[in-house]
Amino acid sequence: MQFLVVEDEKLAAERLINMVLQLEPGSVLAGTADSVKSAVHWYKNNSKPDLIFMDIQLADGLSFTIFDKIKIDAPIIFTTAYNVYAIKAFKVNSIDYLLKPIDKAELSLAIEKFNKLYKDRKTKDTLYDAGLMKQVLQMLSNPYKTRFVVKVGEHLRHIDQEELSYFCSEEKETYLNTFSGKIYGLDQSLDQLEELVDPRIFFRINRKYLINLKSIKDIISYSGSRLKLILNTSNDEDILVSREKVQDFRTWLEGEKK
């Protein structure tokens, strides 16, 4: 079995690949992609894999947009951080999904399902319904990422949106900070994260900080028409809303669309 992994979180991709190789010793990783753009490019320039593992939410948009750009003629197992109720429609035909962080037993069952369906077919025709893709896309009323996978030693854990205080960038590294004071490294840049999180909850105040509304403890007028923020979980005394973003920040505080 040759498989393709479409996943924008490096740690999650590595963990998934290792589990698949353990569960299917004869399988071969055909390739990886971390965005809609790179997935389209890979599929256009490589032989069709036997199976695709595809994250629903990628750095540059929902993976469903891949199907608008190219014809995918391989079965897919989706991976996602969405709750079951929002994606239960995937449990039809050959389509399956795995909630992050991926459980090895669930992965094993999904691969077993693929093997049964695949071996029973005489051709490698598409095993999913393109119309279903459109329906599920409409079901996802909240297109923003609500869970992040981080590495803790040799382990992976998930951080839900409710736990996120702010994201920050230091010396070309990106960090996730929780309300409990924990700090974790991330693969994505702040530019990518800004596109992934709900703009009603998070705001990019400057090049360094992307903050949760609930993390703001105090707002102080500062020189040069800027604003200084005191965050619940940061000791940084120089967290400033950049001058060009002050008006948008005020609008955001009022709950209006940016």
35 beta partners: none
3-state secondary structure labels for all residues of the chain: CEEEEECCCHHHHHHHHHHHHHHCCCCEEEEEECCHHHHHHHHHHCCCCCEEEEECEECCEEHHHHHHHCCCCCCEEEEECCCHHHHHHHCCCCCEEEECCCCHHHHHHHHHHHHHHHHCCCCCCCCCCHHHHHHHHHHCCCCCCCEEEEEECCEEEEEEHHHEEEEEEECCEEEEEECCCCEEEECCCHHHHHHHCCCCCEEECCCCEEEEHHHEEEEEEEHHHEEEEEECCCCCCCEEECHHHHHHHHHHHCCCCC
What is the domain class of 2-139 according to CATH?
A: alpha beta
Q: Which two tokens stand for residue 127?
A: 């095993």
Does the pLDDT of residue 1 top 70, yes or no?
yes
Give the model's confidence band at 143: pLDDT under 50 very low, under 70 low, under 90 confident, else very high: low
Residue 245, pLDDT score = 92
**Segment 116-140, tens digit of pLDDT:** 777 655 444 545 555 555 555 555 5
Residue 79, pLDDT score = 83
What is the domain class of 147-253 according to CATH?
A: mainly beta
In terms of residues, how long is the chain? 258
**Segment 144-157, tens digit of pLDDT:** 778 888 888 888 88
Does the pLDDT of residue 208 top 80, yes or no?
yes
pTM over 0.75? The answer is no
Residue 169, pLDDT score = 93
Q: Which two tokens stand for residue 71?
A: 């014809």
Residue 73, pLDDT score = 79
**Segment 7-34, tens digit of pLDDT:** 998 988 999 999 999 999 999 999 999 9
Does the pLDDT of residue 115 top 80, yes or no?
yes
Domain ranges of the chain: 2-139, 147-253
127 class by beta-carbon count within 10 Å (0-12 exposed, 13-18 middle, 19+ buried): middle
Across all residues in the chain, what is the average pLDDT?
83
Residue 93, pLDDT score = 39
